C-alpha cells in the first residue's frame, strides 16, 4: 500500500529547543533537521515539513492559533493527516481551539511535543514523533494530543505534569488510543457529533476576565471592555456567595449582559450547580455551568463564541451542547 501523506507542521516548543549560554532552553535553529534526526519517520509516511513559526508556546497570540487553523486546512487539502509540533505549556488551549475549528476537517490532526529536546539523549521527542506520525496515518478524524503513551481528544485534555513524560491527561474522557506494544485505538475515536455553529471561527476573543478564587480573595469588577467572565470555582462549582463583592460582580455582569461561566478548580469531575446551595445561588444570579469542560475547552468555547458575536444567552446554550466531542 502507498504510504500516507503526512504534513508535519512545526510551531516551536521544547522539542526543537537548544540550550543557550546559561543552559536555559530557547527555540533553536535546528528544526529543519527533524527529518534528518528522526529518519525512521520516513518509513511511516510520505512526510513534508512546514515551519509555521518557532516559538515558545507561552508567547502565542490568538492570531497565531487562528493562523494554524488556516494553515492546517490548506495543508490538509493534499495530506492524509497532520502532525503539529507544539510547546506543551499552551498545547491544551491550542488543541481545544483547533478541536472546535477543525471538527469538520475529516482528517487526523495530531498535536505533539516533548518534555526534553530532540537533541538530548533521554529525549521523549523521538517516541512522541513516531507515535504522532503513526496516528496521523490512520485516517481517524480527531484533533488530539499524542504524548507519552496516549492520544487524547484535544477538547478534553490538560497538561498535568511539568516533568513526567506522560504530561497530559483527559480526566473526564478515556484516551482515544493507547500506544504501548501495540497501537490500540478505542471505538470512540472519531465518533462524535459535530455541532459547531457556522459563525464560529472568525475571531478568538481575548477580553475574558478569569478569576481563580482562594479564601478571602477580593472580587473586583471586570475591567472596561471585558466581553466574558470565567470563574474557576471550587469543587462542584461553589463560590462564597455571601460576599457582597461577589454579589456585586454577578449584578454587574447581569446588568451589562456579560456571560459568567464556571469551571472547576478540580481536574477530574466538573461543575454541577445542583449539588450545593452555594452553587444553586450562583446559578440564580446568572452563572453558566461549564460542566465537565476543561478550563481550556471552556475558555476556547467562550473565546470562539464571543468572537462570533454570541450573546450571554448564546453562550449559555453553547455550554449545553457538545460542539466537538467535549464532555459536558
Whose Cβ is closer to ligand ASP: residue 13's or residue 291's?
A: 13
Whose Cβ is closer to ligand ASP: residue 94's or residue 137's?
A: 94
Taking CB under 6 A as the criterion, the residue among 88, 96, 134, 238 binding ligand ASP is 88
Going from the C-alpha of 245 to that of each of 133, 221, 254, 306, the distances in angstroms are: 51, 8, 14, 25
Q: Can residue 87 be called a binding residue for ligand ASP (CB under 6 A)?
A: yes
Q: Can residue 165 be called a binding residue for ligand ASP (CB under 6 A)?
A: no
Stretch that binds ligand ASP, among 69-77, 87-95, 141-149, 183-191 (CB under 6 A): 87-95
Stretch that binds ligand ASP, among 50-58, 141-149, 201-209, 234-242 (CB under 6 A): 50-58
Going from the C-alpha of 275 to that of each of 49, 51, 264, 280, the distances in angstroms are: 50, 48, 13, 8
Q: How far is it, in rounded angstroms, from Cα 82 to Cα 295?
A: 25
Q: Can residue 14 be called a binding residue for ligand ASP (CB under 6 A)?
A: yes
The edge-to-edge listing of strands for the beta sheet with 208-211 is 208-211, 228-233, 260-264, 288-289
Taking CB under 6 A as the criterion, the residue among 113, 117, 148, 175 binding ligand ASP is 113
Q: Can residue 58 be called a binding residue for ligand ASP (CB under 6 A)?
A: yes
User: Which residues pair with residue 144 across a beta bridge?
Assistant: 110, 153
Whose Cβ is closer to ligand ASP: residue 12's or residue 148's?
A: 12
Compute and round to an integer the Cα radius of gyration of the chain: 20
Residue recorded with cell 480526566: 171
- Closest approach of Cβ 12 to ligand ASP, in Å? 6
Angle made by CA atoms 59, 292, 128, in degrees to the nearest 5: 50
Residues that bind ligand ASP (CB under 6 A): 12-14, 56-58, 87-89, 113, 115
Amino acid at each position: 500500500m502507498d504510504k500516507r501523506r503526512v504534513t508535519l507542521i512545526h510551531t516551536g516548543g521544547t522539542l526543537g529547543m537548544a540550550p543557550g549560554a546559561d543552559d536555559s532552553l530557547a527555540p533553536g535553529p535546528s528544526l529543519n533537521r527533524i527529518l534528518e534526526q528522526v529518519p525512521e519517520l520516513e518509513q511511516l509516511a510520505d512526510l513534508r515539513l512546514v515551519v509555521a513559526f518557532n516559538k515558545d508556546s507561552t508567547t502565542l497570540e490568538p492570531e497565531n492559533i487562528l493562523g494554524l487553523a488556516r494553515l492546517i486546512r490548506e495543508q490538509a487539502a493534499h495530506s492524509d493527516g497532520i502532525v503539529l509540533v507544539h510547546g506543551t505549556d499552551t498545547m491544551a488551549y491550542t488543541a481545544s481551539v483547533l478541536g472546535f475549528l477543525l471538527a469538520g476537517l475529516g482528517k487526523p490532526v495530531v498535536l505533539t511535543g516533548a518534555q526534553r529536546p530532540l537533541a538530548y539523549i533521554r529525549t521523549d521527542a523521538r517516541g512522541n514523533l513516531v507515535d504522532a506520525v503513526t496516528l496521523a496515518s490512520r485516517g481517524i478524524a480527531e484533533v488530539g494530543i499524542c504524548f507519552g503513551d496516549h492520544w487524547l481528544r484535544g477538547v478534553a485534555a490538560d497538561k498535568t505534569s511539568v516533568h513526567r513524560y506522560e504530561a497530559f491527561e483527559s480526566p473526564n474522557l478515556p484516551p482515544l488510543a493507547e500506544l504501548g506494544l501495540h497501537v490500540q485505538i478505542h471505538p470512540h475515536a472519531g465518533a462524535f457529533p459535530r455541532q459547531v455553529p457556522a459563525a464560529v471561527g472568525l475571531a478568538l476573543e481575548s477580553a475574558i476576565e478569569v478569576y481563580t478564587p482562594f479564601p478571602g480573595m477580593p472580587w473586583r469588577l471586570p475591567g472596561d471592555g471585558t466581553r466574558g467572565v470565567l470563574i474557576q470555582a471550587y469543587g462542584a462549582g461553589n463560590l462564597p456567595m455571601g460576599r457582597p463583592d461577589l454579589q456585586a460582580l454577578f449584578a454587574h455582569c447581569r446588568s451589562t449582559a456579560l456571560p459568567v461561566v464556571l469551571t472547576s478548580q478540580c481536574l477530574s469531575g466538573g461543575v454541577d450547580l445542583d449539588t450545593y446551595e452555594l452553587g444553586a445561588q450562583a446559578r440564580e444570579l446568572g452563572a453558566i455551568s461549564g460542566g465537565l469542560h476543561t478550563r481550556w475547552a471552556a475558555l476556547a468555547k467562550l473565546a470562539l463564541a464571543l468572537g462570533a458575536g454570541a450573546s450571554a444567552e448564546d453562550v449559555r446554550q453553547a455550554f449545553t451542547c457538545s460542539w466537538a466531542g467535549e464532555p459536558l
